[in-house]
Amino acid sequence: MSFVLKREELPHFSRHILAKGYSLFAPVKVNARSSFRKIEDGRVEDISLDYIRTTMPPLKTLLIPPREVMLRIRDGKIEEVLPDPNAKTVVLGVHSCDVNAMNLLERVYMDRPKDPYFEARRNNLIVIALNCKNADEYCFCTSFGTGPSLEEGFDLLLTDLGDRFLMEVGSRKGAELIEDFYMPKASSTDFMEKDDSIRRVKGMIRRHVNTAGIQRVMTGALYNPIWNELAEKCTGCGSCNMVCPTCFCFNVVDEPELDSGSVLRTRTWDGCLLWEYAEVALGGNFRRDLSARIRQFVNHKMNYWLNQYGSLGCVGCGRCVEQCPAKIDITNIVARLRGETL
């Protein structure tokens, strides 16, 4: 079933979601950029679906919070600190690259044994995706078939048609969310306009990764001098890890909660570009050299993921390219290794 939501009814639709008791996350403008924020106090007017890319990946940030207490240990008892099973959340306006990245995270975290924290949040999450209306010089989702539009993996899917949105239903959760919100049915004209819009966005995407036989290319380049050359520029800051929607690594630390006498076993995001990532006892470090850490990041996305989880680990969102302070560009690395650049 597909419907039409008039643009001016978007706030009304958002209020409908809030009225049903969901927490609502949606993009809002923050200092000229867009960021996914919890929509509090019915401030649905703040929602702005005109955006290309948020700096932080919304679904990773919701499903694997940057800092998360896993266990509380007190008086010889271990208490699981699981997400509230009733905390149902809707995230509105997620682009296709990020929805596909969530599907990749599911392969890691829902692989047995399942991660109960991820699972609880995922089960309570409704994703209202948004096909892209614009692209910029960093986008390269078309290389991985992960955008700029979605065919599946969403609960509801919006396509911006100017004065209205086409709303497609992708799951029972999605259907239930709108069953008591009246919208007129979509027509074939709406779908024709959707196709035109997606075709137009595809034409805007200039960046590209040639994925044909990419594993052979990457494995053949493990000892290429390019990694040492990149290490001259890279600062090892780990920004690429943090903004990547498929980077899933975490560190675990025990934090004392002094006033309660508890220990909080807490996990935080970690990244393979960081020096401590592969450090072991006595100062041993299996990736002491920055070149080895860059090689790990690029090969994990463009090579090892395929062996581990059945698809490449990049969705072409462009965040690592846009955010790198050294202007290191994963698409250019692959192109150079393929001999496709000068």
| Residue 79 vs 137, nearer CB to other proteins | 79
Piece of 2-10, 154-162, 292-300, 326-334 that binds other proteins (CB under 8 A):
292-300
- 3-state DSSP call for residue 263? strand
Question: Residue 106 is encoded by which pair of tokens?
Answer: 């599911």
**Nearest partner of 296 among 241, 338, 251, judged by Cα:** 241
**Nearest partner of 70 among 131, 111, 38, 115, judged by Cα:** 115
Residue 307 binding other proteins, by CB under 8 A: yes
Q: Give, as ranges, the residues between 93 and 132 that touch other proteins (CB under 8 A).
A: 108-109, 111, 113-116
Task: Give the whole-angstrom CA distance, residue 292 versus residue 296.
Answer: 6
Residue 258 binding other proteins, by CB under 8 A: no
> Binding string to other proteins for residues 78 to 97, with x set by CB under 8 A, is what?
x-x-x---------------
Q: How many CA atoms lie within 13 A of 81 on its CB side?
A: 14
Residue 335 binding other proteins, by CB under 8 A: no
**What phi and psi values does residue 130 have, to the nearest 5 degrees?**
-140, 115
Residue labelled with tokens 């048609």: 161
Piece of 14-22, 149-157, 169-177, 243-251 that binds other proteins (CB under 8 A):
243-251
Exposure letters 4-26 (e unless 16+ CB within 10 A, then b): bbeeebbeebbebbbeeebbbbb
Could you tell me the end-to-end alpha-carbon distance of the chain, in angstroms, rounded to an integer?
50
| Residue 44 vs 334, nearer CB to other proteins | 334
Smallest distance, Å, CB 210 to other proteins?
21
Residue 56 binding other proteins, by CB under 8 A: no
**What phi and psi values does residue 129 have, to the nearest 5 degrees?**
-85, 165
Smallest distance, Å, CB 297 to other proteins?
11
> Binding string to other proteins for residues 211 to 230, with x set by CB under 8 A, is what?
-----------x--------
- 3-state DSSP call for residue 5? strand
Residue 301 binding other proteins, by CB under 8 A: no
Q: Which residues bind other proteins (CB under 8 A)?
A: 70-71, 73, 76, 78, 80, 82, 108-109, 111, 113-116, 222, 248-254, 256, 263, 265, 267, 270, 272, 277-282, 286-287, 292, 295-296, 299-300, 303-304, 307-308
